Chains A and B, each alone.
Chain A
Amino acid sequence: MQNNKEVFTAKNSSCQFGHGKKIIKAVDNVSFSIQDEEIVSLVGGSGCGKSVLAKMMLGIHKPSSGSFLYNGKEITDLRQHWREVQMVLQDPFSCFNQFFTIRSQLKSSFGIFKEKPSNKEIEERVDNALLAVNIKPPEIEGKYPFELSGGQMQRMLLARIFIMRPKVLIADEPTSMVDACVRANILDYLMKIKNELKMTIVFITHDIGLAYYVSDRLFIMHKGAIVEQGTPDEVALSPKNEHTLALLDDIPDIHKQWIVR
C-alpha cells in the first residue's frame, strides 16, 4: 500500500520574520518526516505556527535555517512544485474571484499544467470533477460564487483539486466554515479524492476531535515548535507533553468535567 517514500523531510527547520530586535520565530526548529499517502494533522491554538508551516510546505515561505525538503530536494521552482502540491483553504467564498463564474475559474486551474489540454478535454475534466463531488454540471452553469451555499463552494474547492490531481494536498481548516451536518460529506469527498489520486494530505486544524478522526498521525504545535508527534491514540489518549495535555483539557468535551464552578 504505502511505499516508504518520504514526501516532506524537515531537519531543525525554522522560519522567522522581521529583523533586528523584532524577530518572530513563526516556526521554531522543527524536525519531522511525512510519508507518501499519509494523512497528517497539524493541531494547535492560534499563533502556534501551523499556517506558516503549511505555507513552507507550499513553498510560499522559505526556511530561514535548517533543511526543508520535498521528495528529497529543496523547493526551488514554485510552478513545478505547485503541479504536485496544492491547497484547500478555510473560506471557500474568499478563494474565488467574485466577478467571474465558477466554471470559468475551475477551467483556469489548467493554467498550472505544462501543456494545456484541448478545450474539449478541459470541459470534460471539469464535468468529471464536478460529478466526483456530487454536483451535476448544469447546477452551476453560469453561476457566481455568491449564488451557492458554503457547502457547495467547499465542494468547488475539492473539485478543483480533482482537476489538478496533485500528489500532496494541504487542507487549511477545510471544514471550519461549513455546517456540522455537512462536514462529514466534505470529509467523505476528501477521502474519496485521496484514495483515487493516492494523495498525501496535511490537515491543519484547531479541532483535535477532527484530527483524531481523520489522521494517521498528529503533530501538536505550540509557539512554532512541534511538541508532540504520534498516532491519534498515542497523542490524544496518552499524551506526554504538557501543552498537549493543556490543549486536551481545554476542550469542552461533553463527557468530562471542564470548568469547576
Chain B
Amino acid sequence: MKLLKNLLKSPMFVCGISLLLITIILAVFGSSIFSITMDRVGQQYAAPHGKYFLGLDDLGRDYVSLMIRGLQSSLYVGLLAGVIATVIGTFVGIYGGFKGGWVDDLLNMFTNIFIVIPSFVILILISSSFSEGRSLTLIGIIIGLTTWSWTARAVRAQSSAIKTKDHIILAKLNGANTVKIILVHILPYLASYVFMVFILQVASGILSEASISMIGLGPLDTVSLGTILNQAKNTGALGDGVWWAFIPATVVITVIVFALYLINTSMEGVFNPRLRK
C-alpha cells in the first residue's frame, strides 16, 4: 500500500529490511543452503578452510552449522520475548492510561518497580534458579516478562493523550464498554507506535539473550549466538587469537540489532510526516 511505497523510498529502511531479510532467510533456509552437522569434523579450533569457511570450534564442530543454528535460536528468542513484552506492556499501558485514577496509579507503581530493578539482574536470578530445563522458550518467556516496563510507560502516555479525544466521548455515549473502547478506539490509533515499539523489543530480546548466554546462564539444550560467545570466552579463544570463535557471532548479533534499529528509525520518519524532508 501507500505506506510500503513511502517506506521503500527511505534508504535507511531499504538497508535495514534487506539486512533483516538476509538473516531471516539464512535462519529459515540455512539448513537447505549449507549442510548442517553438529558432529566433529576436524581438529580443535581449526582455521577456516575449504567448505568450513568459518573454521571449527574447540570440539571440532563446523562454525557455519553452529552459526545457522545459533541464528535460528537468537531470532526465535528475540521474537518470543518481543511479542510477550509488547503485549504485556501495551495492555498495561493502554489500560492504565485510559482508566486514570487509582487504577493508573497502581499500574504505574507496578511498572516503576520493573523499571527500577534492572531486568538483567532478575534475568540472572531466575535463570540461575533453573539449573536444568533451561530452554530457549523459557529464556524467551523470562526476558519477555521482565522487559515490558518501558513499553508500558511509553504506551500509557499515548493512551492518556487519546482518551480526551472527542471520538472516545462519543463511543462512551454509544454505550461502548472499556474493552471495546480500548480495542476499537484507542489501539488502532496507537498501532504504528506499538509496531515500532515491538521492533525495539525484539532487538532488546536478542541482546538480552546474548548477554545472559555469554555469562553461562543461557539455554542448556541448544546453540545460540550467545552460547557460541560464551564457549569462546570459556576456552580462552579470545586470548589465543582464534578470531573465528567470536568475531562472526559478534558481527551477526550487531548486524541484526542494527538492522532492526534502522527499520525502527526509518518508520518513525514515515509515520510522523513532520519528520519527513
Q: Answer yes or no: A and B touching, Cβ < 8 Å.
A: yes
Interface positions of A (Cβ within 8 A of B): 58, 60, 79, 82, 86-87, 89, 91, 94-97, 99-100, 108-109, 111-113
**Shortest distance in angstroms between A140's beta carbon and chain B's nearest beta carbon?**
17
Q: Given that A89-B166, A91-B166 are known contacts, is A97 also in contact with B171, CB under 8 Å in the complex?
A: yes
Look across to chain B and name the residue whose beta carbon is closest to the beta carbon of A116. Answer: B175
Residue B169, interface by CB 8 Å: yes
Q: Is B33 an interface position by the 8 A CB rule? A: no
The residues of A that contact B169 with a CB separation of less than 8 Å are: 60, 87, 89, 95
Write the nearest CB–CB distance from B167 to chain A, whole angstroms.
Answer: 5
Residues A86 and B173 in contact, CB atoms below 8 Å apart: yes
Q: How far is the CA of A79 from the CA of B171 in the complex (A)?
A: 12
Among all A-B residue pairs, the 3 with the closest Cβ atoms: A112-B175, A111-B175, A94-B166
A95, B188: Cβ atoms closer than 8 Å? no
List chain A residues, Cβ under 8 A from B171: 97, 108
Binary flags per residue of B196-236, CB closer than 8 Å to A gives 1, else 0? 00000000000000000000000000000000000000000
Q: Does B165 count as interface, using CB distance less than 8 angstroms?
A: yes
A111 close to B184 (CB less than 8 A): no
The dominant DSSP class at the B interface is helix
A111 & B174 in contact (Cβ 8 Å cutoff): yes
Per-residue 0/1 for B146-188: is the Cβ within 8 Å of any A Cβ (1 yes, 0 no)?
0000000000000000000111011111111000100011001
Residues of the A chain whose Cβ atoms lie less than 8 Å from the Cβ of B188: 97, 99
Q: What's the least CB distance linking A117 to chain B, in Å?
A: 14
B184 near A100 (CB under 8 angstroms)?
yes
Contact of B170 among A79, A96, A99, A113 (CB under 8 A): A96
CB contacts under 8 Å to A, within B254-276, are none
Chain B's closest residue to A166 (CB) is B173
Is A95 touching B185 in the complex (CB atoms < 8 A)? no
A-B contact pairs, 12 of them (CB 8 A): A79-B175, A82-B172, A86-B173, A89-B170, A95-B166, A97-B185, A97-B188, A99-B188, A109-B174, A111-B175, A111-B180, A112-B173
